[in-house]
Amino acid sequence: MFSHKGKTRTPKHNLQIASLLSFVAGLVNVVGFFSVQKLTTNVTGHFAFLIDEVFKLHFENAIHIAFYLISFLFGSFAANFMVEYSSKNNKNQTLLIPVIFEATILFMIALVGNYLIKNNADTIVCSLLFAMGMQNSLVTSISKSVVRTTHLTGLFTDLGIELSQLFFYKDRLQKNKLHNSINLRLTIISMFFSGGLVGGILFDHFGIKSLLLGTLILISGLIYDFINIKILLLKRKI
Protein backbone atom coordinates (compact mmCIF):
# COMPACT_ATOMS: atom_id res chain seq x y z
CA MET A 1 0.00 0.00 0.00
CA PHE A 2 2.61 2.60 1.11
CA SER A 3 5.66 0.66 -0.03
CA HIS A 4 4.92 0.03 -3.70
CA LYS A 5 5.91 2.67 -6.22
CA GLY A 6 6.24 2.85 -9.99
CA LYS A 7 5.77 -0.37 -11.95
CA THR A 8 5.20 -2.50 -8.84
CA ARG A 9 2.13 -0.47 -7.91
CA THR A 10 -1.24 -2.04 -8.83
CA PRO A 11 -4.86 -0.77 -8.80
CA LYS A 12 -5.32 -2.79 -5.60
CA HIS A 13 -2.59 -0.79 -3.86
CA ASN A 14 -4.21 2.47 -4.97
CA LEU A 15 -7.59 1.25 -3.73
CA GLN A 16 -6.13 0.38 -0.32
CA ILE A 17 -4.34 3.68 0.20
CA ALA A 18 -7.32 5.63 -1.19
CA SER A 19 -9.65 3.94 1.31
CA LEU A 20 -7.41 4.58 4.29
CA LEU A 21 -6.34 8.16 3.57
CA SER A 22 -9.68 9.44 2.26
CA PHE A 23 -11.34 8.16 5.46
CA VAL A 24 -8.75 10.08 7.50
CA ALA A 25 -9.30 13.21 5.37
CA GLY A 26 -13.07 12.99 5.82
CA LEU A 27 -12.58 12.63 9.57
CA VAL A 28 -10.22 15.63 9.74
CA ASN A 29 -12.55 17.68 7.53
CA VAL A 30 -15.54 17.32 9.84
CA VAL A 31 -13.75 17.32 13.21
CA GLY A 32 -11.68 20.34 12.17
CA PHE A 33 -14.72 22.27 10.93
CA PHE A 34 -16.83 21.43 13.98
CA SER A 35 -13.97 22.49 16.26
CA VAL A 36 -13.03 25.86 14.75
CA GLN A 37 -15.60 26.47 11.96
CA LYS A 38 -12.81 26.62 9.36
CA LEU A 39 -11.94 24.41 6.37
CA THR A 40 -9.06 22.14 7.39
CA THR A 41 -8.51 19.75 4.46
CA ASN A 42 -8.32 21.95 1.35
CA VAL A 43 -7.64 25.56 0.35
CA THR A 44 -10.18 26.26 -2.42
CA GLY A 45 -12.70 27.96 -0.14
CA HIS A 46 -9.98 29.92 1.63
CA PHE A 47 -9.12 31.75 -1.59
CA ALA A 48 -12.67 33.14 -1.72
CA PHE A 49 -12.45 34.17 1.94
CA LEU A 50 -9.06 35.79 1.30
CA ILE A 51 -10.38 37.94 -1.56
CA ASP A 52 -13.45 38.85 0.51
CA GLU A 53 -11.32 40.06 3.42
CA VAL A 54 -9.02 42.05 1.11
CA PHE A 55 -11.98 43.83 -0.50
CA LYS A 56 -13.34 44.62 2.96
CA LEU A 57 -9.88 46.00 3.88
CA HIS A 58 -9.67 43.51 6.75
CA PHE A 59 -5.98 42.94 6.15
CA GLU A 60 -5.29 41.23 9.48
CA ASN A 61 -7.91 38.57 8.70
CA ALA A 62 -6.50 38.27 5.17
CA ILE A 63 -3.04 37.59 6.57
CA HIS A 64 -4.45 34.81 8.75
CA ILE A 65 -6.08 33.18 5.73
CA ALA A 66 -2.85 33.57 3.74
CA PHE A 67 -1.14 31.52 6.46
CA TYR A 68 -3.75 28.78 5.92
CA LEU A 69 -2.82 28.62 2.23
CA ILE A 70 0.90 28.64 2.99
CA SER A 71 0.46 25.87 5.58
CA PHE A 72 -1.10 23.52 3.00
CA LEU A 73 1.58 24.44 0.45
CA PHE A 74 4.41 23.93 2.93
CA GLY A 75 2.91 20.60 4.01
CA SER A 76 2.99 19.43 0.40
CA PHE A 77 6.57 20.68 0.03
CA ALA A 78 7.70 19.04 3.28
CA ALA A 79 6.23 15.62 2.44
CA ASN A 80 7.85 15.46 -0.97
CA PHE A 81 11.14 16.78 0.41
CA MET A 82 11.13 13.99 3.01
CA VAL A 83 10.37 11.38 0.34
CA GLU A 84 13.12 12.61 -1.98
CA TYR A 85 15.68 12.88 0.81
CA SER A 86 14.95 9.50 2.37
CA SER A 87 14.83 7.74 -1.02
CA LYS A 88 18.52 8.52 -1.44
CA ASN A 89 19.37 6.93 1.91
CA ASN A 90 16.84 4.18 2.61
CA LYS A 91 14.57 3.26 -0.28
CA ASN A 92 12.54 0.86 1.87
CA GLN A 93 11.42 3.56 4.28
CA THR A 94 10.74 6.47 1.93
CA LEU A 95 7.15 6.99 3.00
CA LEU A 96 7.54 6.11 6.66
CA ILE A 97 8.60 9.56 7.91
CA PRO A 98 5.83 11.66 6.25
CA VAL A 99 3.08 9.29 7.46
CA ILE A 100 4.45 9.25 11.02
CA PHE A 101 4.78 13.06 10.86
CA GLU A 102 1.14 13.43 9.82
CA ALA A 103 0.01 10.98 12.50
CA THR A 104 1.99 12.95 15.11
CA ILE A 105 0.34 16.25 14.09
CA LEU A 106 -3.14 14.73 14.45
CA PHE A 107 -2.12 13.24 17.80
CA MET A 108 -0.78 16.55 19.15
CA ILE A 109 -3.81 18.57 17.98
CA ALA A 110 -6.10 15.98 19.59
CA LEU A 111 -4.25 16.36 22.90
CA VAL A 112 -3.95 20.17 23.09
CA GLY A 113 -6.86 21.08 20.80
CA ASN A 114 -9.26 22.16 23.53
CA TYR A 115 -6.70 24.64 24.85
CA LEU A 116 -5.95 25.94 21.35
CA ILE A 117 -9.66 26.37 20.51
CA LYS A 118 -9.91 28.91 23.34
CA ASN A 119 -6.53 30.59 22.88
CA ASN A 120 -5.24 30.15 19.33
CA ALA A 121 -7.62 28.43 16.93
CA ASP A 122 -5.47 29.42 13.94
CA THR A 123 -2.80 26.98 15.13
CA ILE A 124 -5.31 24.15 14.72
CA VAL A 125 -6.27 25.28 11.21
CA CYS A 126 -2.65 25.70 10.07
CA SER A 127 -1.55 22.40 11.61
CA LEU A 128 -4.37 20.38 10.06
CA LEU A 129 -3.92 22.05 6.67
CA PHE A 130 -0.20 21.29 6.87
CA ALA A 131 -1.00 17.63 7.64
CA MET A 132 -3.50 17.41 4.78
CA GLY A 133 -1.02 19.09 2.42
CA MET A 134 1.45 16.39 3.39
CA GLN A 135 -1.10 13.65 2.83
CA ASN A 136 -2.23 14.95 -0.55
CA SER A 137 1.36 15.36 -1.74
CA LEU A 138 2.33 11.91 -0.51
CA VAL A 139 -0.55 10.03 -2.08
CA THR A 140 -0.27 12.02 -5.33
CA SER A 141 3.41 11.16 -5.56
CA ILE A 142 3.11 7.48 -4.67
CA SER A 143 0.19 6.83 -7.02
CA LYS A 144 1.60 8.91 -9.89
CA SER A 145 -1.27 11.43 -9.56
CA VAL A 146 -3.96 8.73 -9.75
CA VAL A 147 -5.17 9.22 -6.17
CA ARG A 148 -5.98 12.41 -4.26
CA THR A 149 -7.77 12.25 -0.94
CA THR A 150 -8.23 15.60 0.78
CA HIS A 151 -10.91 17.22 -1.42
CA LEU A 152 -13.61 16.08 -3.83
CA THR A 153 -13.97 18.74 -6.55
CA GLY A 154 -11.53 17.14 -8.97
CA LEU A 155 -12.83 13.68 -8.13
CA PHE A 156 -16.39 14.54 -9.10
CA THR A 157 -15.10 16.16 -12.30
CA ASP A 158 -13.07 13.07 -13.24
CA LEU A 159 -15.93 10.77 -12.27
CA GLY A 160 -18.36 12.67 -14.51
CA ILE A 161 -15.92 12.46 -17.42
CA GLU A 162 -15.34 8.73 -16.97
CA LEU A 163 -19.03 7.91 -16.59
CA SER A 164 -19.68 9.62 -19.93
CA GLN A 165 -16.83 7.64 -21.50
CA LEU A 166 -18.61 4.39 -20.64
CA PHE A 167 -21.00 5.15 -23.53
CA PHE A 168 -18.16 5.41 -26.05
CA TYR A 169 -15.36 3.03 -25.00
CA LYS A 170 -16.05 -0.39 -26.54
CA ASP A 171 -12.63 -2.03 -26.30
CA ARG A 172 -12.56 -4.51 -23.38
CA LEU A 173 -9.14 -3.39 -22.15
CA GLN A 174 -10.20 0.25 -22.18
CA LYS A 175 -13.48 -0.56 -20.42
CA ASN A 176 -11.70 -2.56 -17.70
CA LYS A 177 -9.30 0.32 -17.10
CA LEU A 178 -12.22 2.73 -16.99
CA HIS A 179 -14.15 0.54 -14.53
CA ASN A 180 -11.09 0.36 -12.24
CA SER A 181 -10.75 4.15 -12.31
CA ILE A 182 -14.46 4.70 -11.60
CA ASN A 183 -14.33 2.18 -8.77
CA LEU A 184 -11.33 3.99 -7.30
CA ARG A 185 -13.05 7.39 -7.40
CA LEU A 186 -16.28 6.03 -5.92
CA THR A 187 -14.22 4.43 -3.14
CA ILE A 188 -12.49 7.72 -2.31
CA ILE A 189 -15.79 9.62 -2.27
CA SER A 190 -17.58 7.02 -0.14
CA MET A 191 -14.68 6.68 2.32
CA PHE A 192 -14.35 10.47 2.62
CA PHE A 193 -18.07 10.60 3.40
CA SER A 194 -17.74 7.69 5.87
CA GLY A 195 -14.80 9.38 7.61
CA GLY A 196 -16.83 12.57 7.92
CA LEU A 197 -19.82 10.68 9.26
CA VAL A 198 -17.72 8.87 11.86
CA GLY A 199 -15.98 12.14 12.71
CA GLY A 200 -19.33 13.84 13.31
CA ILE A 201 -20.56 11.03 15.55
CA LEU A 202 -17.32 10.93 17.54
CA PHE A 203 -17.18 14.72 17.87
CA ASP A 204 -20.44 14.70 19.83
CA HIS A 205 -18.76 12.51 22.46
CA PHE A 206 -15.05 13.34 22.33
CA GLY A 207 -14.72 16.72 20.60
CA ILE A 208 -11.40 17.39 18.91
CA LYS A 209 -9.93 14.30 20.57
CA SER A 210 -11.71 12.39 17.78
CA LEU A 211 -8.59 13.10 15.71
CA LEU A 212 -6.90 10.32 17.69
CA LEU A 213 -8.76 7.90 15.43
CA GLY A 214 -6.93 9.42 12.44
CA THR A 215 -3.60 8.79 14.16
CA LEU A 216 -4.60 5.21 14.95
CA ILE A 217 -5.65 4.54 11.32
CA LEU A 218 -2.39 5.93 9.90
CA ILE A 219 -0.21 3.91 12.28
CA SER A 220 -2.33 0.79 11.65
CA GLY A 221 -1.77 1.27 7.91
CA LEU A 222 1.99 1.36 8.41
CA ILE A 223 1.90 -1.75 10.62
CA TYR A 224 -0.26 -3.58 8.05
CA ASP A 225 2.22 -2.65 5.33
CA PHE A 226 5.19 -3.75 7.45
CA ILE A 227 3.62 -7.15 8.20
CA ASN A 228 2.75 -7.71 4.53
CA ILE A 229 6.32 -6.97 3.45
CA LYS A 230 7.74 -9.36 6.06
CA ILE A 231 5.35 -12.11 4.92
CA LEU A 232 6.30 -11.50 1.28
CA LEU A 233 10.03 -11.71 2.10
CA LEU A 234 9.51 -14.94 4.04
CA LYS A 235 7.64 -16.49 1.10
CA ARG A 236 10.48 -15.56 -1.24
CA LYS A 237 13.03 -17.25 1.03
CA ILE A 238 10.91 -20.40 1.14
- The residues near 179 (Cβ < 8 Å, ≥ 6 apart) are none
Instruction: State whether residue 188 is helix, strand or coil.
Output: helix
Q: What CATH number did the domain enclosing 33 receive?
A: 1.20.1250
pLDDT over 70 percentage in the chain? 91
CA torsion angle 135 138 141 143 (round to 10): -70
Give the integer Cα–Cα distance in Å for 86 and 163: 39
Query: What residues contact residue 208 under an 8 Å CB cut-off, 6+ apart?
Result: 31, 35, 109, 110, 113, 114, 117, 124
Residues 198-223 have a mean pLDDT of 96
| Interatomic CA distance for residues 135 and 148, integer angstroms | 9
CA 211 to chain centre: 13
**164 alpha-carbon distance from chain centroid:** 27
- From residue 85, give the alpha-carbon distance in Å to each of 4, 18, 74: 17, 24, 16
Domains identified in the chain, total number: 1
Is the model more confident about 226 or about 123? 123
Q: Does the pTM exceed 0.85?
A: yes
**What sign does the CA torsion over 193, 159, 138, 79 have?**
negative
125-142: average pLDDT:
91
In the DSSP assignment, the letter for residue 37 is: S
Q: How far is CA 187 from CA 30, 149, 201, in A?
A: 18, 10, 21
Would you say residue 113 lies in a domain? yes
At residue 4 the predicted structure's pLDDT band, cuts being 50, 70 and 90, is low
Q: State the chain's mean pLDDT as an integer.
A: 88
- Would 1 be classed as within a structural domain? no
pLDDT digits (tens, 9 = 90+) for 95-110: 788 999 999 999 999 9
Question: How far apart are the C-alpha atoms of 129 and 47, rounded to whole Å?
Answer: 14
In this predicted model, what pLDDT tens digit does every residue of 31-89 receive, in sequence order?
A: 999 999 999 988 988 999 999 999 999 999 999 999 999 999 999 999 999 888 877 76
Domain around 215:
6-237
DSSP 101-170: HHHHHHHHHHHHHHHHHHH-HHHHHHHHHHHHHHHHHHHHHHTTTS---S-SHHHHHHHHHHHHHTTT--
Does a structural domain hold residue 100?
A: yes
Instruction: Give the separation between CA 125 and CA 45, rounded to whole angstroms.
Output: 13
Q: Which long-range contacts (CB under 8 A, 24 or more apart) does 93-97 make?
A: 94/5, 95/2, 95/3, 95/138, 95/142, 96/2, 96/222
